[in-house]
Amino acid sequence: MASQKNSQIIRWAVIITSFIIVALILWNTYDFFQKFKSEERSKMEILAKAYERFSSADLDAEISLESKIIGNNHNIPMIITTEKDSITEWSNLDVEKSKQSSFLLKQLSIMKSQNKPIVISYMANNENIILNIYYRDSDLLTKLKYYPVALILILVLFASVIYLFFKSNKVAEQNKLWTGMAKETAHQIGTPLSSLLGWIEILRLENTDENTVKEIENDVFRLNTIAERFSKIGSVPKLKKLDIVYVTNTSFEYLKSRSSKQVEFTFIAPKKEILVQINQQLFSWVIENLVKNAIDAMEGKGKIKLQISEEETNVLLTITDNGKGISKNLQQKIFSPGYTTKKRGWGLGLSLAQRIIQDYHNGKISVLKSEINKGTTFLITLKK
C-alpha cells in the first residue's frame, strides 16, 4: 500500500514538473518573441532615417552609410506609400508582374494589421514630402510566433495521454475488482450446490417422483454451469472439439422447458455431428442470451426458430423471432456495452456475446435482418 502511494506521488511530481517546464518554455518563447519584434522595429526606424537622409541629401553629400543600411535589409518585407496610401516602392516581396497590384494591396493590408507605420518626412524641391513605411514580421519572427501554438498543442496532447492513461488504469482496477468478485461469487455458490446434489440423492432414496428429481437436478446442473462461467471470468477459455448441434440443442431445450407455453420453439439442424472448437459454457451462454432477448422482444408470446446449417468451411446459426424488431440505426449500437432498450438490465448481454464469439471463438455475430414489428434474425458464423 505504501509503495503504491509513493509511486502515485512520484507520478504526480513528474507530471507537475513537466507542466512547469512547458510553461517556462512558453513564457521564454513569448519574451524572446517580444524582444525580437522590438529589435525589428528598431531596425526599421534606422532604415527610415536612412531613407530620409538618402532622399534629402545633396548630390555631393556622403550617403554611403545610408545606402548600405538600405541595401542590407534582406529579410523584413516592406512597402513605402504616400500619405494617400499610393504605393511608391517595396522590397523583400516576391511578386509576379501579372498579379503585382492585388498582391501588394493584400500585403499592405497585412502590414497595417501587424505594425504601426514609420513616417518619413523630408524636403525635396522646396516641397515637404511625407511617406509611410509599412512592414510585416520577418519569416523567422512568423515561425517563432507559431511555435508557442505548437507547444500548447503538444501540451494538450501530453495531457490527453496522461488522462487516458489514468482512465485506463482506473478501468483496469475496476475490471480486476469485478473479476475478483465474480470468482469469489462462483466459489461461494459451489458450497450450496454440493449440498443440493446430496439432497437430490436423498430424494431419490425416498422414492420421490423421478421426473421431479430430474428437473431439480437439471436446475442444479444449470447453476453449476453458471458458477463455472463466473469462475472463468478474466481467464482465457479453453476450446474443445464438440458437436455444436448437441450443445446448441441442449441449451435450446432447457430454455424451452422453462418458458411460457405461448412461445413456439423450433429447432432445425442436420441429423449428424458437426464438430467445432468451442467452449461449451460460454457458447451455451450466448445461445441462452439470444433466445432470452428474442422472448423479451416478443413480450413472452410468439415464435422462435433456431437453425443450424453448414458451408464448406463454416457453420451458420440463425436465431429468428417475430418480435418488435430493431431499427437500422440501432443495429450496430446494440452490441455496444451499456446500450439497452429494457427498463431493467445492464446492457452487457449482446456486448459479451459478441466478445465471446469474436474474440474467443474467432467467429462473427451480427444482425442478419430485422424489420420493425415483424422480427429479427441474428447470425452466428463459426469455423469448422
C-alpha cell at 234: 478474466
* Domain-embedded: residue 148: no
Q: Mean pLDDT of all residues in the chain?
A: 82
> Can you give the pLDDT at residue 178?
63
The answer to the question of residue 318 being in a domain is yes
Distance CA(367)–CA(375), nearest Å, equals 11
DSSP letters along 216-230, please?
HHHHHHHHHHHHHHH
Instruction: Assess if residue 181 is contained within a domain.
Output: no
The pLDDT assigned to 180 comes to 65
- The verdict on residue 229 lying in a domain is no
Domain membership flag for residue 163: no
Question: Which triple of cell numbers denotes residue 86?
Answer: 499610393
- Identify which of 365, 213, 210, 215 has the alpha carbon closest to the alpha carbon of residue 289: 365
The per-residue pLDDT for 61 is: 66
Which residue in the block uniquely carries the three cell numbers 449482446?
350
127, 243: one domain: no
For residue 321, pLDDT over 60 is answered with yes
Q: How far is CA 321 from the centre of its chain?
A: 34
3-state DSSP call for residue 289? helix
249 shares its domain with 368: yes
Residue type, 353: A
Q: Pick the last residue of a domain from 137, 156, 179.
A: 137
- pLDDT of 278 reads 94
| Residue 310 confidence (pLDDT) above 90 | yes
Residue 309, beta-bridge partner list = 316
Tell whether the model's pLDDT for residue 318 goes beyond 90. yes
- The H or E element containing residue 148 is helix 139-205
Beta bridge partners of 45: none
Biggest CA–CA distance in the chain, Å, is 137
Q: How confident is the model at residue 158 (pLDDT cuts 50, 70, 90)?
A: confident
The model's pTM is: 0.51
Predicted pLDDT at 50: 83
- Counting Cβ atoms within 10 Å, is residue 167 exposed (0-12), middle (13-18) or buried (19+)? exposed
Domain boundary among 137, 168, 197: 137
- Strand, helix or coil for residue 317: strand
Ranges 46-60, 115-129, 268-282, 310-324: which has the least confidence: 46-60
262 vs 175, higher pLDDT: 262
In a domain, residue 378? The reply is yes
| pLDDT band with cut points at 50, 70 and 90 for residue 97 | low
Q: Among 97-106, 120-129, 191-200, 236-245, where is mean pLDDT lowest?
A: 191-200
Which has the closest alpha carbon to 294: 336, 267, 324? 324
Work out the number of other CB atoms within 10 angstroms of the CB of residue 213.
Answer: 18
Work out the average pLDDT over 220-249: 81
Q: Is the pLDDT of residue 2 over 60?
A: no
In this prediction, residue 266 carries a pLDDT of 96
Separation of alpha carbons 144 and 123, rounded Å: 39
Same domain, residue pair 263 and 377: yes
Q: In this structure, are residues 297 and 323 in contact, taking their beta carbons and an 8 Å threshold?
A: yes
Three-class DSSP category at 263: strand
The mean pLDDT of 53-81, rounded to a whole number, is: 76
pLDDT at 183: 67
Q: Does residue 174 lie within any of the structural domains? A: no
Please count the other Cβ atoms lying within 10 Å of the Cβ belonging to residue 182: 17
Residue 270, pLDDT score: 94
Mean pLDDT on 207-216: 84
- Which of these, 255, 279, 280, lies nearest to 267 by C-alpha position? 255
Whether 363 contacts 357, CB under 8 Å: yes
Same domain, 131 and 246: no
Whether residues 133 and 240 fall in one domain: no
Segment 85-92 shows an average pLDDT of 86
Residue after which a domain boundary falls, among 104, 137, 170: 137
Question: Residue 141: which pLDDT band, with cuts at 50, 70 and 90?
Answer: confident
The count of other CB atoms within 10 Å of the CB of residue 124 is: 9
**Residue 294 pLDDT level (bands cut at 50, 70, 90):** very high
Q: Are residues 241 and 132 both part of a single domain?
A: no
Residue 199 pLDDT greater than 60, yes or no: yes
What percent of the chain is modeled with pLDDT above 70? 85
Domain that holds residue 297: 236-383
Specify the number of domains making up the chain: 2
For 81, residues 6+ apart whose C-beta sits below 8 A from its C-beta are 87, 88, 108, 131, 132, 134
- Residue 334: all three cell numbers together: 446494440
Of residues 92, 77, 80, the one with CA closest to residue 120: 80
pLDDT higher than threshold 90 for residue 242: yes
Higher pLDDT residue, 260 or 365? 365
The stretch 212-221 carries a mean pLDDT of 83
Residue 150 has pLDDT above 80, yes or no: no
First-to-last alpha carbon distance for the chain, in angstroms, is 49
**Highest-confidence range of 16-20, 231-235, 308-312, by mean pLDDT?**
308-312
Amino acid 317: pLDDT: 97
Q: How many CA atoms lie within 13 A of 268 on its CB side?
A: 12
Are 126 and 6 found together in one domain? yes
Residue 370, domain CATH? 3.30.565.10
How far apart, in whole angstroms, are the C-alpha atoms of residue 78 and residue 138?
A: 10
Amino acid at 140: L
Asked if residue 127 and residue 11 are part of one domain, the reply reads yes
Average pLDDT over every residue of 275-296: 91
Query: Does 371 reside within a domain?
Result: yes
